[in-house]
């Protein structure tokens, strides 16, 4: 079955405050494989929306359904572990483990989600992904020893190493210089090519958005508008 995601009257507030003002209400459906770009003004709630769709945060109300299934239990706990293992999320700040080497950062998610996988297979896959993102030779380095662009490459590899069906990138080129930003944008396209996944990318950069998709979703005034074609 191809991946699909449906947001049914999903409401979220700033900082997920239960009694705070509503930040947005989204009612939309996406089907994969596809790459969907979400744009919006600073503070409009793009990252909050992405974290809500990606299962990082529970919606205040409404439902996010992956192929008709919810990730959350009625008590507010993420209960669907098989579904959780099909989701890859790349945070804007990368969320790498600074106490682990590059190699260990890639092995960790597989050890958690593929506990029966042999150590030999895990190491082979981690080496493969380091090579795919251009980090061969950096296996023993720690994240704090890497440049910003290299850290982003490592975060992308860690996001994709489980070959997820649902992929979420929170502003993957934020804070990077123009040359590195373009390199990361092209790397994403290369890694996502022919991958049967449902992918979401949040960005403020129209040039990067244009390189990923001919049109975008725009979060404005608390609503996610239909696709807007970029000039």
171 forms beta bridges with none
CB atoms within 10 A of CB 38: 24
Tokens of 142: 């720690």
Residue 88: phi, psi to the nearest 5? -120, 130
- Classify residue 13 by its DSSP letter: -
CB atoms within 10 A of CB 120: 8
Residue 217: phi, psi to the nearest 5? -95, 140
pLDDT of res. 24: 85
Residue ranges in the chain whose pLDDT is less than 50? none
pLDDT of res. 87: 95
pLDDT of res. 228: 72
Nearest to 91 by CA among 58, 57, 63: 57
Nearest to 130 by CA among 98, 169, 104: 104
**57 Cβ partners below 8 Å, 6+ apart?**
12, 16, 48, 51
pLDDT of res. 82: 84
pLDDT of res. 100: 97
Give the pairing of strands 69-70 and 61-66: antiparallel
Q: DSSP alpha helices (H): ranges in the chain? A: 46-53, 81-84, 102-113, 119-132, 148-160, 178-192, 206-212
Tokens of 168: 């979420």
Asked whether the beta carbons of 89 and 54 are under 8 A apart, the reply is: yes
Structure confidence by residue, pLDDT tens digits, 64-110: 999 999 988 776 676 777 888 899 999 999 999 999 999 999 999 99
pLDDT of res. 25: 87
pLDDT of res. 16: 62
CA pair distance 194, 215, nearest whole angstrom = 19
CB-based contacts of 18-22 (< 8 A; 24+ apart in sequence): 18/60, 22/222
Whether the pTM exceeds 0.95: the reply is no
Asked whether the beta carbons of 55 and 82 are under 8 A apart, the reply is: no
CA pair distance 33, 11, nearest whole angstrom = 26
């Amino acid at each position: 079955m191809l991946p699909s995601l449906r947001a049914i009257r999903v409401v979220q507030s700033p900082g997920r405050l239960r009694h705070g003002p509503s930040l947005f209400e989204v009612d939309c459906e996406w089907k994969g494989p596809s790459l969907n770009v979400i744009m919006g003004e600073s503070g409009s709630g793009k990252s909050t929306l992405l974290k809500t769709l990606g299962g990082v945060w529970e919606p205040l109300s409404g439902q996010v359904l992956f192929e008709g299934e919810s990730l959350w239990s009625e008590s507010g706990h993420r209960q669907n572990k098989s579904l959780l293992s099909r989701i890859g999320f790349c945070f804007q700040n990368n969320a790498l483990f600074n106490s682990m080497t590059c190699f260990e950062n890639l092995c960790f998610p597989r050890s958690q989600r593929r506990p029966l996988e042999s150590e030999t297979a895990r190491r082979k896959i981690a080496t493969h992904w380091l090579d795919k993102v251009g980090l061969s030779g950096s296996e023993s380095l720690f994240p704090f020893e890497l440049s910003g662009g290299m850290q982003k490459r490592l975060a992308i590899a860690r996001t994709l190493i489980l070959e997820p069906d649902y992929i979420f990138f929170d502003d993957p080129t934020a804070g990077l210089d123009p040359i590195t930003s373009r390199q990361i944008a092209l790397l994403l396209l290369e890694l996502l090519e022919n991958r049967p996944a449902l992918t979401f990318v949040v960005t403020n950069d129209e040039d990067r958005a244009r390189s990923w998709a001919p049109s975008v979703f725009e979060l404005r005034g608390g609503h996610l508008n239909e696709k807007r074609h970029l000039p």
